[in-house]
């Protein structure tokens, strides 16, 4: 039996005068295809309850260890957060924004895990690895 995860994901991204709002919305939905996006006062605010496509992107790029580090570094109670580069997200690629902020701003993602617990959810979307490959808990 598979575990059912209950999460609330809030995604925000500034939209500057030099940007096309629809392209910023596409950057969000290319990484979180089920997100419902609303335009509010110079930024986009989106919500979703599904991170499966995002997890597939992490697996494809083979950045599970990086993702785990970012998630656990920001874990506070039942919530963790991270920033993504807009341009990469527009291409459907997950690239974490670290260091100097991008001139166009980043996509900020805040994940609140309702059930079962944040550590289990992180293990689900970005499983631990050994020699760069996800560890199968069944083995």
Domains and CATH numbers, the chain: 6-127 (3.30.1440.10)
Query: What tens digit of pLDDT does each residue of 34-77 get?
Result: 999 999 989 999 999 999 999 999 999 999 999 999 999 999 99
Rounded to an integer, the average pLDDT of 109-132 is 92
Sign of CA dihedral 83, 88, 93, 98: negative
Higher pLDDT, 75 or 133: 75
Classify residue 96 by its DSSP letter: B
Q: Rounded to an integer, what distance in angstroms lies between the CA atom of residue 97 and that of residue 82?
A: 8
């Amino acid at each position: 039996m598979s575990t059912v995860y209950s999460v609330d994901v809030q995604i925000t991204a500034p939209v500057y005068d030099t940007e096309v709002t629809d392209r910023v919305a596409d950057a969000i939905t290319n990484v979180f295809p089920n997100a419902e996006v609303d335009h509010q006062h110079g930024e986009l605010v989106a919500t979703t309850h599904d991170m499966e496509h995002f997890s597939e992107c992490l697996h494809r790029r083979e950045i599970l260890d990086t993702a785990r580090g970012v998630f656990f570094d920001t874990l506070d109670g039942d919530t963790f957060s991270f920033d993504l580069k807009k341009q990469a997200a527009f291409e459907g690629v997950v690239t974490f924004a670290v260091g100097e902020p991008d001139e166009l701003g980043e996509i900020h993602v805040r994940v609140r895990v309702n059930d079962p617990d944040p550590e289990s959810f992180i293990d689900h979307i970005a499983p631990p690895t050994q020699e760069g490959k996800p560890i199968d808990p069944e083995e």
